[in-house]
Structure 1
Amino acid sequence: MKKLSYIFLFICGLLSAQNEVVFDQANTLYNEGKFAEALDKYETILKGNQHSAELYFNIANAHYKLNHIAPSIYYYEKAAAMAPKDEEIMNNLAFANNMTIDAIENIPETSISKTLNKIKNVFSFDGWALLSVISVVLFVLLYLAYYFTFETGKKRLFFTGSVLSIFLTFTALAFTFHTYNVAKNNKPAIVFAQEAQVTSEPNSRSVEAFVLHEGTKVQVLDTVSHWKKIKLSDGKTGWIPETDIKLLNIF
């Protein structure tokens, strides 16, 4: 059994080394202005089920240099999902979005909604879940201290702390479930068709609702046969053939 483990680790290390060599070759080709050749090298690594923000970013850069609007935005989005605080990725994504035709405005947020989103984004789902557990443990410890303490001042202090910790527990749990639901329902996609007709019903005989162009980001709400129900950032909804969009499938 140990021999099999060693063989597996050896193969993984060998593949990793090979990918690094190919990645360096692709970077060299990119720097030489051979963007199509570099793209082929990057995609070879991707086909080996390797995923990283750096790889997605370089693939997006190559597509951008080749004026491939939809693929460049697609891979910048995937890179941004893995490294949301990377300024270079976000800046390049903004440049790529400037190449799109569709100008779609976001629905303005209320002040309450902005505040809640800021609080929600302080932690990830795992972070809120961990905070929930910590606050529960803290509540138990403070309550036990309150129960077994007889000094009035300390008893009042422990009681206040236990009340605050249970409030923090319910708050953290609320944001944990909210973050989970947001992530679960988040199904972004990029329009890959040069021009896509969005209809009011999931069939080609339905009335055209509006037209989208390549590179536009949408949210997928539902699927019926070979049609996807999508929603734009301005609130508009409609149905589009599934072949006209590509789900981001964020890792």
Structure 2
Amino acid sequence: MKHLIIIFVFFSLDIYADEKLFLKANNYYNLEQYDDAIILYDSLIIQGFEHHKIYLNIGNCFYQKKDWKNAIWNYEKSLKIKKSQIAKENLSIAKLNIVDKVEPIPLLFYKMWWKNIYSYFTTFNWQIFCLLSIWILIILKIINQFFYFNFSKLIQNFLLFVSLILFLISYSSLKNSFLNNEGIIFKSAVEVYSAPTDQSTDLFTLHSGTKIKVLDQINGWVNIRIANGETGWIKLDSYKKL
């Protein structure tokens, strides 16, 4: 069986955070008192300190407890805030321990290429890059107009092109964020039905730790899709929303 070490990340919260609380949580982790560490990390989140590394550390605690569904949920939550290579690696390791090995539908090469681009940074990061490029272009226009310093049309057209590309990437990232209403299965086994009723046909079974995409919700049921494209209905209390 493959054994890999989960990396535990230490970091400094900003000056407004309760540093003592964070250090105490780290100390509990080192003492292998994972439940106490989780309680303290959760208290930081409740206070409003939603940092991607807090979720990463919580995921590591659950990993050590072999609670795969909670480990996966927290790694996914960390990645929603910031794309971290450590979180990606830890998530991949945790997924080795769950029952369902769902193979995603392969995307066409250009769709995969575009997805890799807009997923490289968060939506907020892409929006900042886009705004910066637009402001630089505006400043150059103002300098040209009022200070008679002639920037070539080539430079201005290049910045305009970059701004347009960054806008398209930002839009794709934002659209993906809104459409990706996702969650993790939390019950040990969940029957997936063909319709939102117990009397409908059982299609397949999902197990804890599996990621789902929510398509619709009605009367305590949710219509879901998993990575291989299969769809169906599960009960609302079967999963935890990301």
Whether the 8 Å CA contact 1:191–1:212 is kept in 2: the answer is yes
2:228 maps to what in 1? Answer: 234
Q: How does 1:145-164 map to 2 (within 5 A)?
A: 158=152, 164=158
Whether the 8 Å CA contact 2:83–2:121 is kept in 1: the answer is no
TM-score normalised by length of structure 1: 0.75
Taking the aligned partners of 1:125 and 1:43, their CA distance within structure 2 comes to: 25
Amino acid in the other structure paired with 2:214: V
1:42 maps to what in 2? Answer: 41
2:60 maps to what in 1? Answer: 61
The percent of aligned pairs where both chains have the same amino acid is 25
1:215 and 2:209 are equivalent in the alignment: yes
Residues 185 and 29 of structure 1: CA distance in aligned 2, closer, same or farther (over 3 Å): same
2:181 maps to what in 1? Answer: 187
Aligned length: 225
Residues 62 and 173 of structure 1: CA distance in aligned 2, closer, same or farther (over 3 Å): closer
Taking the aligned partners of 1:85 and 1:237, their CA distance within structure 2 comes to: 29
- Between structure 1 and structure 2, the one with the greater Rg is 1
Residues 128 and 29 of structure 1: CA distance in aligned 2, closer, same or farther (over 3 Å): closer
Residues 111 and 139 of structure 1: CA distance in aligned 2, closer, same or farther (over 3 Å): farther
Taking the aligned partners of 2:38 and 2:130, their CA distance within structure 1 comes to: 44
Give unmatched runs, 5+ long, in structure 2. 1-14
1:189 counterpart SS class? strand
Whether the 8 Å CA contact 1:139–1:162 is kept in 2: the answer is no
2:93 counterpart SS class? helix
Taking the aligned partners of 2:186 and 2:50, their CA distance within structure 1 comes to: 21
Amino acid in the other structure paired with 2:73: Y
Residue 121 of structure 1 and its aligned partner are, at CA, apart by 3.8
Amino acid in the other structure paired with 1:106: P
Q: What do the CA deviations read for 1:18-60 (whole angstroms, capped 9, x no partner)?
A: xx32332232222222223333333333333332223212222
Residues 121 and 66 of structure 1: CA distance in aligned 2, closer, same or farther (over 3 Å): closer
Residue 169 of structure 1 and its aligned partner are, at CA, apart by 4.4
TM-score normalised by length of structure 2: 0.77
Taking the aligned partners of 2:122 and 2:89, their CA distance within structure 1 comes to: 23
Q: What do the CA deviations read for 1:168-214 (whole angstroms, capped 9, x no partner)?
A: 44433333322221111111200000000111111222111110000
2:11 maps to what in 1? Answer: none
1:31 maps to what in 2? Answer: 30
Residues 137 and 36 of structure 1: CA distance in aligned 2, closer, same or farther (over 3 Å): closer
State which of 176, 200, 204 in structure 1 corresponds to 2:198.
204
The alignment yields a C-alpha RMSD, in angstroms, of 3.1
Q: What do the CA deviations read for 1:77-111 (whole angstroms, capped 9, x no partner)?
A: 11233332242x22222221111100100111212
Q: Which moved more, 1:20-29 or 1:168-177?
A: 168-177
Give unmatched runs, 5+ long, in structure 1. 1-12
